[in-house]
Amino acid sequence: MLAHTAGQQGRVAAHTICGEDMKYDESKDSGVIFTRPEAAFVGLSLDQAKAKGIDAVEVKAPMSIDAKAMITNETHGMIKIVADKNTHRIVGVHYLADHADTLIGEGVMMVAGEMTLEQVAQAIHPHPTQTELFGELARRLLSRLRRSAKKKTKVA
C-alpha cells in the first residue's frame, strides 16, 4: 500500500539476494495521510506496543500549546509519543497536525534510531518551531514516570 514500504522491501530483497542480512521491520514503518491537518505515524501505537509485550506508555500534547503553531494559526491537532516504560525507548510517534509530513522525519529518526526519552528531552530544539513539542513531550513523560516510581516506592 505504501511506496516507501515497497522501496524498503525491494532493498531488503536485493540485499538478501546478495547474501547480506537485512530485514524489513514493520514496527518501524511510517505513513502520512495528506488531510488538513495531516495525520501521520511512525512505529507502534500504544495498543500495538502492548500486543507485542512492551510495557508501553503514551504522552500527548495539543498543537495549541506550541508557539510556532500559535504564530501561524495552525493549532489544530496534537502529537503523541509512545515509549517503553522500562527502557524509555521511543517505539512510536503519532501526529494530527499541519506539517506532519515534515515533522514525521524527526519521529522516524527517533524510532529507527531507537532513541530514548532522555535523549529527546535533552536535545535542544530551536524556538519557535513545532519541533519544540518533541522535547516537551519527552520531558512530560519522564517526569510522569518519575512521579509514579516515587509513589510506588512510598507505598512499598
Kindly list the catalytic residues. Answer: 127
CA dist 10 and 94 (Å) reads: 26
Q: Which three cell numbers stand for residue 47?
A: 495498543
**Strand (E) or helix (H) holding 114:** none
Query: 1-40 mask for ligand FAD (x: CB under 6 A)?
Result: xxxx-x----------------------------------
Residue 24 or 128 with smaller CB distance to ligand FAD? 24
How many residues sit in the footprint of ligand FAD (CB under 6 A)?
5
Q: Cβ of residue 2: shortest distance to ligand FAD, in angstroms?
A: 4
**Of 128, 129, 110, 112, residue with least CA distance to 120:** 110
- For the chain, the C-alpha Rg in angstroms (whole number) is 17
CA dist 138 and 119 (Å) reads: 9
Residue 32 or 49 with smaller CB distance to ligand FAD? 32
CA dist 70 and 72 (Å) reads: 6
Q: Cβ of residue 15: shortest distance to ligand FAD, in angstroms?
A: 16
Cβ-closest position to ligand FAD: 6
Q: Which residues bind ligand FAD (CB under 6 A)?
A: 1-4, 6
